[in-house]
Amino acid sequence: MKKEEIPQDDGALNKSTKEVCYAVDSEGKYTTELSTGWEVKSTALDAAWKDIDERVKAARQKVLNGEASPLLFFMELRLMDIGIVSAYTGFWKWTIRQHLKPAVFNKLTESKLQKYATAFNVELADLKTMNVHED
């Protein structure tokens, strides 16, 4: 791709970041150039974020229905799986699976809940209520 052909389409990430692309300059040498986006890539990212948003909404509803603890909501919101949560909290994976059950979650000590709150970057009260304060 020639340097002047690098796509500069508006996309979901163009306000916060730019992508480095390799291109051929006028002398035929490879160089790097910044791109604000590419329409096809933006469409794919938008579809992915829509799927993530739906998963977060479904997780919130499961918590409200009493089928899961708030951990499920925050795991979906923060794009974390049990392995990642385990690495951040130090809890074993099987322990986290137990904590995903509302009855077990409701009996957790403040110190255990605080580990989760820290891992999800939320206040302890927000962990229990699923309040999200994004800055």
- What digits encode the pLDDT tens for the residues 36-78? 767 777 788 888 889 999 999 999 999 999 999 999 999 999 9
Model-level pTM?
A: 0.75
Is 134 or 121 the better-scoring residue by pLDDT?
121
Please state which CATH number belongs to domain 42-129. 1.10.260
Domain span(s) for CATH 1.10.260 in the chain: 42-129
Q: Which residue has the tokens 């899961």?
A: 68
pLDDT of residue 49: 87
Residue 124's pLDDT is 94
d(CA 25, CA 110): 59
Whether residue 100 has pLDDT greater than 70 = yes
b/e 13-40 (16+ beta carbons within 10 angstroms → b): eeeeeebebebeeeeeeeeebebbbbee
Residue in the structure block whose two tokens are 């302890």: 124
**In this predicted structure, what is the pLDDT of residue 78?**
96
